[in-house]
Amino acid sequence: MSEIVSIPKTASGEAYDILIENDFEKLAEAVSKLGINDRKFCVITDSNVEGLYADEVESKLKDIAKLVVRYTVSAGEANKTLANIAEIYKFLIENHFDRNDCIFALGGGVIGDMAGFAAATYLRGIKFVQIPTSLLAQTDSSIGGKTGVDLDAYKNMVGAFHQPSLVYMNMSVLKSLPAREYAAGMAEILKHGLIKDNSYYGWLVNNFSEIMDMESDYVAKMIKRSCEIKARVVTEDALEHGERALLNFGHTIGHAIEKYMDFKLLHGECVALGMIAASWISYKRGKLDTEEFYEIRDMFLPFGLPLTLDDDADAEEILSLTKSDKKMDGDKVKFVLLKKPGKAYIDTSVTDDEILDAIRQLILTDD
């Protein structure tokens, strides 16, 4: 199965295509269309993905490139640093990369963000191609042009908007992704349904076993639909002034939990908890009925995501950590709530008491 999602030109960059494929067979052909044949290519990957896919990707690229070099970063968020970006710049300089050469990001969101940021800034910007290999990268981080790195504990504090020239996904690489990483990617996918498309959400819920078994037709349909939703939101709001903020559903409390747990839970796991908490606030405000709330909550379970925090978790501490979230409008948190399943909106009136109550619901485990 081959699918294409086309992203139009926006305020933050040129048009590009997202190709959804089952292998790397069409990679060289797709790259050829970018007008960079006989240029130098740098494949940036991580230490887990390198041994699995880098040789194959490079062998395809070698057919059309002048030179293909590889730069491997140690796997993990802890390596998404400016120091490592500086190492990438040095590597590009040593290999005489100029403005017409191209970077390829082969890996999950960490590599996509880093390689994209290196491409955004090296010589004030060179082309780059995303080859996302995690479920999160295939449905979320590779689309929209946000790139960047962490600064100590401050996640994604430094970055740039830089659109890829192409996103090429080979869905079959998901087979080697650890199950927990696959489940974490599902959190953002369920989010796409909850904020924008209730019939898609219903389809995901009804087909959870095929999706969790990675049946290819289901995975293809899911990746395509999630790419379309993310693409639509980010192209309508390329520089993040309004609509794009809906993608932060579950993220205010989710980020606070991520910090509270000292990054021992995966981002998607924290976002699932954050979405349950935000749904609770929506329920308390009368936007969701009891059945809708409990269905949203309980459906995270079959997708391998948590519903609760340990019963010794400190709700007040988590509340205080929501204050350092970047998604602020002046001193008010821009909170994303649900008007109903499939329709999210921004609310700046959510109080500390409501947030605290919602976090406590995650800790109370009696039902």
Ligand X SMILES: NC(=O)c1ccc[n+]([C@@H]2O[C@H](COP(=O)([O-])OP(=O)(O)OC[C@H]3O[C@@H](n4cnc5c(N)ncnc54)[C@H](O)[C@@H]3O)[C@@H](O)[C@H]2O)c1
Nearer to ligand X by C-beta: 144 or 274? 144
CA distances from 52 to 168, 173, 364 (A): 17, 9, 42
Q: In this complex, which beta carbon is closest to ligand X, that of residue 76 or of residue 202?
A: 76
Rounded to a whole number of angstroms, the minimum distance from the CB of residue 196 to ligand X is 16
Q: Return the closest-CA partner of residue 313 out of 321, 304, 302, 323.
A: 321
166 CB neighbour count, 10 Å cutoff: 21
Q: Which residues contact 190 (CB under 8 A, 6 or more apart)?
A: 201, 204, 272, 275, 299, 300, 303
Q: Which residue number, 192 or 267, has a Cβ lying nearer to ligand X?
A: 267
Containing H/E element for 256?
helix 251-260
Least distance (Å) between residue 205 CB and ligand X: 22
- In order of 99, 261, 264, the CA distances from 182 in angstroms are 36, 20, 16
Please state the closest distance from residue 41 (CB atom) to ligand X, in A: 20
Q: Least distance to ligand X from the beta carbon of 109, Å? A: 2
DSSP string across 151-168: ETTEEEEEEEE---SEEE
The distance of closest approach from Cβ of residue 150 to ligand X in the complex, given in angstroms and rounded to an integer, is 7
**What SS3 state is found at 41?**
strand
Q: Which tokens is 38 given? A: 């006989």
Based on CB atoms, which residue is closest to ligand X, 64 or 257? 257
Least Å distance, CB 30 to ligand X, is: 19
Q: How far is the CB of 208 from ligand X (least distance, A)?
A: 20
- Tell the smallest beta-carbon distance from residue 110 to ligand X (Å): 3
Write the CA distances from 60 to 14, 30, 57, 122, 173, integer angstroms.
Answer: 25, 11, 5, 25, 16
Number of continuous H segments (helices) and E segments (strands) in the chain: 14, 13
Q: Which is nearer to ligand X, 64 or 137 (CB)?
A: 137
Our CB check for ligand X shows the closer of 35 and 76 to be 76
Q: State the Cα–Cα distance between residues 137 and 158, nearest whole angstrom.
A: 19
- For ligand X, the closer of residues 64 and 135 by Cβ is 135
Instruction: Give the interface with ligand X as residue ranges (CB under 6 A).
Output: 46, 48-49, 52, 75-77, 80, 107-111, 113, 133-134, 136-137, 140-141, 144, 146, 155-156, 173, 176-177, 181, 267
Q: Which two tokens stand for residue 260?
A: 């509270």
Q: Specify the residue, 37 or 176, whose C-beta has the smaller distance to ligand X.
A: 176
Nearest by Cα to 186 from 85, 287, 306, 315: 306
Q: How far is the CB of 134 from ligand X (least distance, A)?
A: 3
Note the helical H segments in 262-310.
Answer: 267-284, 290-298
Tokens of 5: 């999602």
Instruction: Using the minimum distance from each CB to ligand X, give the nearer residue, 172 or 207.
Output: 172
